[in-house]
């Protein structure tokens, strides 16, 4: 499901999804959520090593377009639960990607747009960025995974405050609360994200994929389950050419070259 407002591109091992809906702060239509899910599924089998998500037009995403969605008639015949399950599929497709995902946020990330940013593994923003769980101000409950993702980042009490009030959080407060990895000066976001992206893309893709799963699953694991999963992952790693080359590179005092094999 392609969409003109969702651009999927590849730059070597780096995949990119950019939202681009001028005049609407990249607010997503019903079809755009489906296009994001489809893009994520394509990336999962593309051999890419890292995904960068961003928004065009000096904003990340203003969430779901509740008043100006020209495609709403295409889904209006569905029961509301079916439509909301499609929204859930979108966030799950991004969050469950087997590769690291970076959200590069400039401008607004509110409502489901905030959820999309939280679905990433890492989140970088500019000093002009603003975040909000705007749902309460629209008479709505949380969606796009925000009820799950935000408490994990900042704790339940802080998450409840943002959810109950719908207040707008600036970049400095986002940094204090801890749901962003770094706040960078305006105009420097692309360079900062590129630095992190290149470091991840140069790493061991199989090992990093399993590390992502270990960390994501840790919330619902006991220590015994976590150490067993770690053991299984390391057993896989020791059977790869990447790990053998990394060990040889250490002994030979050179940088390893990871090929994902």
CATH of the domain at 133: 3.90.226.10
Given this model, what pLDDT does residue 66 score?
80
Within 13 A of 15's CA, how many CA atoms are on the CB side?
23
Q: Tell me: do 43 and 93 sit in the same domain.
A: yes
Query: Is 261 domain-assigned?
Result: no
- Which of 158, 184, 201 delimits the end of a domain? 201
* Whether 109 contacts 146, CB under 8 Å: no
Q: Which of 23-32, 59-68, 132-141, 210-219 has the lowest mean pLDDT?
A: 59-68
The alpha carbon of residue 28 and the mean position of all alpha carbons in its chain are separated, in whole angstroms, by 16
Torsion of CA 73, 78, 84, 90, to 10 degrees: -70
Q: Please report whether residue 260 resides in a domain.
A: no
Summarize the confidence of residues 121-136 as an average pLDDT. 97
Are 38 and 152 in the same domain? yes
Q: Are 66 and 149 members of one domain?
A: yes
* 169 plus 213 within the same structural domain: no
pLDDT at 75 over 60: no
Say if residue 126 is in the same domain as residue 216. no
pLDDT tens for 200-235 read 999 999 999 999 999 999 988 999 999 999 999 999
Residue 8's SS3 state is: strand
78 Cβ contact partners less than 8 Å away, ≥ 6 residues apart: none
Q: What pLDDT does 172 receive?
A: 97
pLDDT band at 67 (very low <50, low <70, confident <90, very high): confident
- Give domain status of residue 79, yes or no: yes
pLDDT at 80: 74
Structure confidence at residue 70 (pLDDT): 67
> Which pLDDT score is estimated for 14?
98
Inside any domain, residue 12: yes
Q: How many CB atoms lie within 10 A of CB 185?
A: 10
| Percent of the chain clearing pLDDT 90 (strictly above) | 89
Q: How many CB atoms lie within 10 A of CB 188?
A: 12
Whether 194 and 107 map to the same domain: the answer is: yes
3-state secondary structure of 259: coil
Identify the band that residue 81 occupies on the pLDDT scale cut at 50, 70 and 90.
confident
Residues 18 and 120 in one domain: yes
Kindly state whether residues 103 and 232 are assigned to the same domain. no
Domain count, the chain: 2
Instruction: Determine which of 61-70, 133-142, 143-152, 189-198 has the lowest per-residue pLDDT on average.
Output: 61-70
Same domain, 100 and 217: no
In the prediction, which pLDDT does 104 show? 98
* Domain match, 12 and 69 both: yes
46 part of a folded domain: yes
CB 152 within 8 A of CB 118: no
Angle between helices 80-95 and 30-44 (to 10 degrees): 30
The parent domain of residue 80 ranges over 6-201
Q: Which 3 state secondary structure label does DSSP give 9?
A: strand
Residue 33 lies in a domain: yes
Residue 257 within a domain:
no
Residue 91 is encoded by which pair of tokens?
């966030």
Which phi and psi angles does 122 have, rounded to 5°?
-130, 145
pTM for the full model? 0.93
pLDDT for 74: 55
- Please indicate, yes or no, whether residues 68 and 172 belong to a single structural domain of this protein: yes
Would you say residue 136 has pLDDT above 70?
yes
Cα 61–chain centre separation: 13
Residues 52, 23: Cα–Cα separation, whole Å: 23
Q: Give yes or no for residue 1 having a pLDDT over 90.
A: no
- Virtual CA dihedral for 37, 62, 192, 123, nearest 10 degrees? -60
pLDDT of 6-33, one tens digit each?
A: 999 999 999 999 999 999 999 999 899 9
Q: Looking at the domain assignment, is residue 258 inside a domain? A: no
Q: Which of 186, 201, 216 is the last residue of a domain?
A: 201
Same domain for 196 and 240, yes or no, is no
């Amino acid at each position: 499901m392609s969409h003109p407002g969702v651009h999927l591109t590849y730059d070597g091992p780096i995949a990119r999804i950019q939202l681009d809906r001028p005049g609407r702060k990249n607010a997503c239509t019903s079809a755009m959520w489906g296009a994001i899910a489809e893009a994520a599924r394509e990336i999962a089998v593309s051999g890419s090593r890292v995904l960068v998500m961003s928004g065009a037009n000096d904003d990340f995403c203003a969430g779901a377009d509740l008043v100006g969605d020209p495609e709403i008639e295409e889904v209006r015949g569905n029961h509301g639960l079916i439509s909301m399950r499609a929204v859930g599929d979108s966030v799950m497709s991004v969050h469950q990607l087997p590769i690291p995902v970076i959200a590069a946020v400039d401008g607004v990330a509110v409502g489901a747009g905030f959820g999309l940013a939280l679905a990433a593994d890492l989140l970088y923003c500019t000093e002009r960025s603003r975040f909000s769980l705007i749902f309460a101000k629209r008479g709505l409950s949380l969606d796009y995974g925000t009820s799950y993702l935000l408490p994990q980042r900042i704790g339940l009490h802080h998450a409840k405050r943002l959810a109950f009030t719908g207040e707008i959080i600036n970049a400095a407060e986002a940094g204090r609360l801890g749901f962003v990895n770094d706040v960078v000066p305006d105009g420097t976001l692309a360079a900062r994200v590129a630095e992190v992206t290149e470091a991840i893309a140069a790493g061991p893709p199989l090992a990093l994929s399993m590390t992502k799963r270990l960390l994501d699953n840790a919330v619902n694991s006991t220590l015994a389950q976590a150490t067993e999963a770690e053991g299984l992952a390391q057993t896989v790693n020791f059977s790869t050419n990447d790990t053998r080359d990394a060990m040889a590179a250490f002994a030979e005092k050179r940088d390893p070259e990871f090929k994902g094999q």
